[in-house]
Amino acid sequence: MHTCSLERMKDKIGTFAKYGDAGHGGITRYSLSAEAHLARDEFSRRMRAIGAVVETDDMANVYATLPGSEPGLRRIAMASHVDSVKNGGNYDGILGVICAMETLEAVAAGGIAHRHPLTAMIWTNEEGSLYPPAMMSSGVITGKFDKKTVLASKSVLDPTKTFGEALAASPYLGDEKNRLSADAYAAMFELHIEQGPILEAAKKDVGVVTCVLGMVNYRIRTRGQADHAGTTPMSYRKDALFAAAQALMYLHEKLDELDPALVYTTGEIKCHPCVHTVIPDEVDFSLDARHEDPAVIARVVAIIEGMPKEFAGCATSYERAWARDTVYFDKRLVGFVKESADALGVSNRYINSGAGHDAQFVSYMMPTTMIFVPSKDGHSHCELEYTAPEQCAAGASVLLNAVLKADAALG
Ligand SMILES: [Zn+2]
């Protein structure tokens, strides 16, 4: 078994934390911003220094490749993202890129023989923080998103600016022929922080990811009557917000009777007219529910679609916004991750991903899997994000050995 360097990992984690440093322990590094370009420059410089060839594609994804001993073989990729949310942390995305770099550095430094070309990769605009949607370029490359539509995506800070303009201005804009594809790549690995508390609670240093949870997303509406807040006796009211509160209570009670692994959230609520002197006449709220088992998701759907037609005198309605099935990662690759962690003596357990990642889109295209490392106190998408350097290095070592197992086994 091979191991990665803790010192090199610490150096990279500290270096990349400077690009977009917001001054209080975290970063704001929107995709294709000056800060993100500095991170890409650092990546490219370090990868060229070990003899990797750096290429970019038409979505400005960056690929650094070390040749293998059998040039006819497809590449094996390790990828994540360098962009962050506003006031994000130093681990989400960037740690996967750092571990991909570390894998190539360990291979180069140790003269580790490998048959396939090995590629460390940066995905453009995974977060979609400045230009929605999230997972933008993996969505385009795997045919989930229309490229023209995403090029027209407007900046959330300045609607006169588009993603397409930022892309055209990027020195990393490259050729479509360099895109990750099943013809050119045999597999993809993505290491990522867990973004939840499960590994830490279980005292495990690595999560062997098996799937990305299936989910459904509904919009639920209650419709009442707008009236004056001071002159309408309580018994006359049709208060859509009070009805929405009752609907939410009803849904929580019913959903809590399902499997304890089910997670569900109302994160968005629109209240009309949202004026403090007016009884709300219409409320629209989201319900996002996630579980691995489609049978549980089907029961969630049955509860939502079977809820009472009226609460507090207000009519209820629903609309399915979108859904996705559970995405299972490639069993062979999952096995390579598990075997590597076990052989290295890195404590580990199987885990699923409740969050979406580029790897989820790529898994429709080629064998793909993910490796998780713990998130201290479960925090992510905030400056409190933290994973101990030893855990980061352990994750990198698992990635290195899993890639080498794939290199030995895959054609
Ligand atoms: Zn991420």
Task: Give the CATH number of domain 214-324.
Answer: 3.30.70.360
Res 32 pLDDT > 90: yes
Ligand 1 center from residue 84 Cα (angstroms): 8
Ligand 1 center from residue 313 Cα (angstroms): 43
Beta strands in 230-380 (DSSP E): 263-265, 269-272, 282-291, 310-311, 314-324, 327-328, 348-353, 368-373
State the average pLDDT for the chain: 97
Predicted pLDDT at 227: 98
Evaluate whether 180 touches 62 at the Cβ level (below 8 Å).
no
The whole-angstrom separation of Cα 34 and Cα 76 is 29
Res 189 pLDDT > 90: yes
Q: What is the pLDDT of residues 280-339, one digit of tens each?
A: 999 999 999 999 999 999 999 999 999 999 999 999 999 999 999 999 999 999 999 999
Q: What is the pLDDT of residues 65-81, one digit of tens each?
A: 999 999 899 999 999 99
Beta strands in 251-293 (DSSP E): 263-265, 269-272, 282-291
Predicted pLDDT at 71: 82
Structure tokens at 67: 């040749």
Q: Quick one: which of 317, 315, 304 has its CA closest to 240?
A: 315
Ligand 1 center from residue 234 Cα (angstroms): 48
The residues spanned by each domain of the chain are: 6-212+326-409, 214-324
**For range 344-357, the mean pLDDT:** 96
For CA atoms 199, 89, 353, 249, give the dihedral sign.
positive
Q: Quick one: which of 403, 410, 405, 409 has its CA closest to 121?
A: 403
Predicted pLDDT at 113: 97
Asked whether the bond before 133 is cis by omega within 30 degrees of 0, the reply is yes
Q: What is the DSSP string of 96-154?
A: HHHHHHHHHHHHHHHT---SS-EEEEEES-SS-SSSSSTTHHHHHHTTSS-HHHHHTPB
Ligand 1 center from residue 85 Cα (angstroms): 9
Confidence at 133, pLDDT banded by 50, 70, 90: very high
Ligand 1 center from residue 214 Cα (angstroms): 18
Confidence at 40, pLDDT banded by 50, 70, 90: very high
Ligand 1 center from residue 58 Cα (angstroms): 21
Asked whether the bond before 273 is cis by omega within 30 degrees of 0, the reply is yes
Ligand 1 center from residue 245 Cα (angstroms): 33
Predicted pLDDT at 246: 98
Ligand 1 center from residue 82 Cα (angstroms): 9
- φ, ψ of residue 287 in degrees (nearest 5): -140, 115
Ligand 1 center from residue 176 Cα (angstroms): 24
The whole-angstrom separation of Cα 119 and Cα 74 is 10
The whole-angstrom separation of Cα 120 and Cα 128 is 21
Ligand 1 center from residue 92 Cα (angstroms): 5
Ligand 1 center from residue 80 Cα (angstroms): 7
Ligand 1 center from residue 223 Cα (angstroms): 38
Ligand 1 center from residue 348 Cα (angstroms): 20
Q: What is the pLDDT of residues 152-183, one digit of tens each?
A: 999 999 999 999 999 999 999 999 999 999 99
Predicted pLDDT at 354: 93
Q: How many CB atoms lie within 10 A of CB 265?
A: 11
Predicted pLDDT at 181: 98
Ligand 1 center from residue 62 Cα (angstroms): 16
The whole-angstrom separation of Cα 75 and Cα 119 is 7
pTM given for the model: 0.92
φ/ψ bin of 66: left (φ > 0), alpha (ψ from -120 to 50), beta (otherwise): beta
For CA atoms 296, 298, 299, 305, give the dihedral sign.
positive
**For range 51-63, the mean pLDDT:** 98
Res 93 pLDDT > 90: yes
pLDDT over 70, % of the chain: 100
Ligand 1 center from residue 381 Cα (angstroms): 9
**For range 369-392, the mean pLDDT:** 97
Ligand 1 center from residue 191 Cα (angstroms): 9
Give the CATH class of 6-212+326-409. alpha beta
